[in-house]
Chains A and B, each alone.
Chain A
Amino acid sequence: AQSVTQLDSQVPVFEEAPVELRCNYSSSVSVYLFWYVQYPNQGLQLLLKYLSGSTLVKGINGFEAEFNKSQTSFHLRKPSVHISDTAEYFCAVSDAFLRGGSYIPTFGRGTSLIVHP
């Protein structure tokens, strides 16, 4: 089974500064990778996903992530953050083979991004 490590539980940053949220997963032959965002009192919303192809994936709200197979990482980046980006971010990984007929992801513990004015 996959395991996902989000190396930072909390990342404080000033508005308009760049940010990187780190995610590492246990090795596997082939994986699908996701980043979700959760705002207070809301469910999770998909930011971006990697299924195959280009290792640089662009998502919503100016976020992007890079899949690095050799380092088993999928770090999330944004060149300039806004106050409204303050939220909890989750990395998720699923094996690229059917388990019981679907791809059940394993989630990391989450990283709290706190953007200061």
Chain B
Amino acid sequence: KAGVTQTPRYLIKTRGQQVTLSCSPISGHRSVSWYQQTPGQGLQFLFEYFSETQRNKGNFPGRFSGRQFSNSRSEMNVSTLELGDSALYLCASSIGTRDYEQYFGPGTRLTVT
């Protein structure tokens, strides 16, 4: 069974631009969560989607948004990029509501210059 895939793996953007990251969960998984990982803040929860609905949201500004499609694939968007948005963005999928085990993708390394 294929694992969680994230595209692109690396991205360089300029301040003020916007970016869209994509995540394809493991087949059969309906929940997708997004995390931001930085050396200073560690791993921080962004949001979680289940059946195309945002079910939980972390403490991030409105510039960070996401969505999930009917095939469970998910995208996250960051508008008006800031230097502090440079991070590894990780996507994790799980089976559903009461599943505790998350499977992580390799991440997208975003660099904002």
Give the B-binding residues of A (Cβ under 8 A): 32, 34, 36, 41-46, 49, 51, 90, 94, 98-110
Contacts and interface: CB of A to CB of B under 8 A. Distances in A.
B18 interface: no
B100 A49 contact: yes
Nearest to A32: B100
Interface in B1-53: 4, 31, 33, 35, 42-45, 48, 50
A102 B56 contact: yes
B17 to A, nearest CB: 24
B56 A99 contact: yes
Contacts of B43: 44, 90, 107, 110
8 nearest A-B residue pairs (beta carbon): A43-B104, A107-B43, A109-B42, A44-B104, A100-B56, A100-B55, A43-B106, A43-B105
Given A41-B106, A45-B104, A51-B100, A104 B56 contact: yes
24 contacts: A34-B100, A42-B107, A43-B4, A43-B105, A44-B92, A49-B100, A51-B100, A98-B97, A100-B48, A100-B55, A101-B50, A101-B55, A101-B97, A102-B55, A102-B97, A104-B33, A104-B45, A104-B48, A104-B56, A107-B42, A107-B43, A107-B44, A109-B42, A110-B43
Interface of B: 4, 31, 33, 35, 42-45, 48, 50, 55-56, 90, 92, 97-98, 100-107
Contacts of A42: 106-107
B90 A43 contact: yes
A112 B53 CA distance: 36
Nearest to A46: B101
Contacts of B90: 43-44
